[in-house]
Amino acid sequence: MPNRVEFAEDLLHGVARLRARWETNGNEVTTFTVQLEAWHDGEWLGIRRYDDAHGRPHVDILDRQRNEYHKVWLNCTRSDALTLALRDIHGNWERFLAEYTEG
């Protein structure tokens, strides 16, 4: 039976958050999205997004106009990509936010 998890976590109140959702069937992750977001001009904008759209896990790096300007394909399972995404954003969100605001 599929199980769905969805949450948003404040990283810096009113400035940065992690938003995530995934579905599992047993121990297998069947789909996922993990996104670092920044509050800008009254709305949350994506900075970095890990997901499995296009049939494969990857990370999209986004600009302030919400355009994807870099995509990195991940050569791993959805489960491993989900773990990587959560660890990467938790460990590097301050640097990602600085790159976004400076860029």
For the chain, give every domain's residue range. Answer: 2-102
In a structure prediction context, what are the per-residue pLDDT tens digits for the chain, which is 103 residues long?
Answer: 789 999 999 999 999 999 999 999 999 999 999 999 999 889 999 999 999 998 999 999 998 878 888 999 999 999 999 999 999 999 999 999 999 888 6
What confidence score (pLDDT) does residue 48 get?
97
**Cα Rg, the chain, nearest whole Å:** 14
What confidence score (pLDDT) does residue 93 get?
98
Q: Residue 19, class by beta-carbon neighbours within 10 Å (0-12 exposed, 13-18 middle, 19+ buried)?
A: middle
pTM: 0.93
